[in-house]
């Protein structure tokens, strides 16, 4: 399972990248706009934090397939390292996914609400599909069921496309996506920090330290 951070905030990315096994960073137009900085500058800053080998995802905004392809190529040229172009699954988006993939530019098919959208995106050459778990739940629908159906379909048809589940609002949704077999998840920094913020773990650690200190004194290390 691969873990991505869904953010363009350089401070948060720096912190999460230090502690967690990140595979890369996903952004979207809203996330980049929130930072209030020129977007290329932000993306280059992110690249310098995560290094060349981790994937950086950037979404295109064009209406027509040709515009999306031009934007995708521009982004790949402008940012060094591994870049994945995010393309929304519309009719034009499907065409753009096919065109970009034909040029070996990796694509994540985004804004996915149904298994059918995911299937078509994978058949068009997408490397990843991103079902929007929480946004599907809010329709209301069943985001996790969509994730699980897509995982099952991709295995059945041996499509070689990975499910990168997105749009989470709590830790349980992320855990359920992992149990459903999603190959990857992208999660906001606030939720990632909750992954290990478990009160009982803190209590246990503090109890172990107290016992040690009572027996051996203030030196907390056991290195001799
Ligand atoms: C990631 O690819 C998506 O843009 C993102 O996860 C959407 O999340 P949201 O529903 O919290 O905006």
Q: pLDDT (tens digit, 9 = 90+) per residue, 132-146?
A: 999 999 999 999 999
Closest Cα to atom 1 of ligand 1: 166
Residue tagged active-site, from 12, 44, 54, 86: 86
Sign for the CA dihedral angle at 88, 40, 81, 105 comes to positive
Residue-wise pLDDT for 81-116, tens only, equals 999 999 999 999 999 999 999 999 999 999 999 999
Nearest CA to 146 out of 154, 87, 24 is that of 154
Share of the chain above pLDDT 90, in %: 95
Residues of the chain predicted below pLDDT 70 = 219-220, 222, 224
SS3 122: helix
Ligand 1 atom nearest the C-alpha of 135 is 10
135 C-beta closer than 6 A to ligand 1: yes
Rounded to the nearest 10 degrees, what angle do helices 65-78 and 39-50 cross at? 50
> Among 55, 191, 195, which residue's Cα sits nearest to residue 127?
55
CB atoms under 10 Å from CB of 149, counted, come to 18
């Amino acid at each position: 399972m691969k873990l991505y951070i869904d953010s363009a905030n350089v401070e948060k990315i720096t912190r999460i990248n230090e502690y967690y096994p990140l595979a890369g960073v996903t952004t979207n137009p809203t996330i980049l706009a929130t930072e209030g900085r020129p977007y290329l500058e932000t993306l280059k800053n992110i690249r310098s934090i995560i290094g060349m080998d981790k994937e950086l995802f950037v979404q295109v905004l064009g209406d027509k397939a040709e515009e999306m392809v031009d934007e995708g190529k521009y982004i790949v040229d402008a940012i060094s390292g591994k870049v994945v172009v995010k393309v929304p699954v519309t009719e034009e988006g499907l065409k753009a996914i096919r065109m970009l993939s034909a040029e070996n530019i990796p694509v994540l098919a985004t804004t996915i609400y149904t298994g059918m959208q995911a299937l078509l995106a994978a058949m068009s050459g997408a490397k990843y599909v991103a079902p929007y778990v929480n946004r599907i739940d809010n329709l209301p629908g069943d985001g996790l069921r969509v994730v699980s159906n897509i995982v099952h379909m991709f295995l059945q048809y041996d499509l070689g496309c990975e499910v990168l589940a997105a749009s989470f609002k709590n830790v349980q949704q992320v855990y359920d996506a992992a149990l459903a077999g999603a190959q990857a998840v992208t999660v906001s920094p606030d939720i990632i920090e909750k992954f290990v913020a478990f009160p009982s773990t803190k209590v246990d650690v503090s109890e172990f330290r107290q016992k040690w200190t009572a027996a051996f004194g203030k030196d907390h290390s056991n290195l001799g």
